[in-house]
Structure 1
Amino acid sequence: MASRYRTQTPLSFRKQPALQILREMDLTVRQAAQRTGTPYYTLRNILYGGTRATTGQRAALVALTGRSVEELFDAGSLVPRRSSERCRCNRCTLERARRAEDAGVVL
């Protein structure tokens, strides 16, 4: 029975499309981790569906691949993990990233 207190969509625990995109670019997970400044095991867990990427990690993968976030991750992996990422105020990181994206600034 599912908990009625669950506040976020569960992870899919499937390989993310970003993994295939990196392979098409002839990049290993280790090379992608070095280029994005993300620890190897963290990026591996993100790409294999074990954890959700933070806003900064998603932005780094977008910059590396040149693809949109929706192309890189399935819907279950895009659900924000923290309440600050769900917030619409001007102080939160995700809202600043959205405003920058709307203005055409690449993160």
Structure 2
Amino acid sequence: MQIKEMDSLLKAISDETRLKIISYLVRDSFCACELMEFLGMSQPAVSQHMKKLRDAGITSEEKRGRWVYYSLNKQCEMYPVILHIVNLMPSVDISSDRCICN
């Protein structure tokens, strides 16, 4: 692991919302509409946060119909570091009712 990659990771997760997103994605992959609901944010706001995480190589995405599903990039060199950080954080609640996006 290089200092440059660590710097990029820390900049990408240096935001409360992005830390929450990562803590959700450690559990499962989620569509944009679910993240919008969990975070109480608009689609453009969620997309901006996801772009920063994707640009840092932390997340990956898959388009299904009109929705994008996000997950952690397990191929990322920083994946073990991300898991460690999430384990140090307080847990976040996720509704048991998952939406099924069309």
Please say whether Structure 1 and Structure 2 have the same fold, judged by a TM-score greater than 0.5: no
Between Structure 1 and Structure 2, the one with more strand by share is: 2
Query: How high is the TM-score relative to the length of structure 2?
Result: 0.32
